[in-house]
Amino acid sequence: MSDIFREVDNCVTAPQGFRAGVTASGIKSDGSITDLAILASDVPCVAAGTFTTSSTRAAPVIVCQERLRSGKAQAIIVNSGNANCATGDLGLLNAYRMTEFAAKRLDLENEMVLCSSTGIIGRQLPIEKIQAGVEAIELSTDQGNAFSKAIMTTDTRPKRIALENRVACSSRGLIQHDVNGRRHVDQRYLHSFCQWISREHTYQRAAPRCGNISRGTAPRNTIPCT
């Protein structure tokens, strides 16, 4: 690793201004495994994203595409164990509902909350379990690594990293990357989502050029990608 970077702990909550929380809501067959997580910023963030070109988009992808047109977000709710893909109109409704649960829990507007789901395809979300799980989640600044575990499906280990660097004038920057998923033979059917967090000062006009990232306003940024 370059001398200008230093790896730090707590993953998505390593940058100042971010909190996360997880719970075992019972989506997975093993009810003791965490499968529901929320990541939230203390302030609204400039947000952007890029998405699959597949015509068979999962419900959370549709919700995120719609809401990211505003260029703003403040939280994301993520579940594992169920992809909410190929679930029709009910699946789309459930994707909206899970963002509503999180928005109410965090006292935010519904439109400021994004969602992601990963897991089994073609099965409806157990939305009552998600609603109860949201109520059980307590957010804190030390739950970043727990967030990484809660979004795992067939992954054998969490895939996360948080790096800190010092730039000109001794200012302090911190970026974090947390990803779930795998690459298929055809990129059109890419199955992956990530959360990329930065505390760097950025400009809204830069976000569309950043590929699979969403950038937040200074001094804190949240980067949920689907």
Confidence tier at 49 by pLDDT (50, 70, 90):
confident
Residue 188 has pLDDT above 60, yes or no: no
Residue 123 has pLDDT above 90, yes or no: yes
Domain definitions of the chain by residue range: 5-225
Please tell me the CATH superfamily of domain 5-225, with its number: L-amino peptidase D-ALA esterase/amidase (3.60.70.12)
> How many CB atoms neighbour CB 110 within 10 A?
14
Confidence tier at 184 by pLDDT (50, 70, 90):
very low
Residue 226 has pLDDT above 70, yes or no: no
Whole-model pTM: value is 0.77
Give me the residues paired with residue 165 across strands: 5, 173
Q: Compute the distance between CA of residue 50 and CA of residue 221 in angstroms, rounded to an integer.
A: 17
Residue 135 has pLDDT above 80, yes or no: yes
- For range 66-86, the mean pLDDT: 94
Give me the residues paired with residue 69 across strands: none
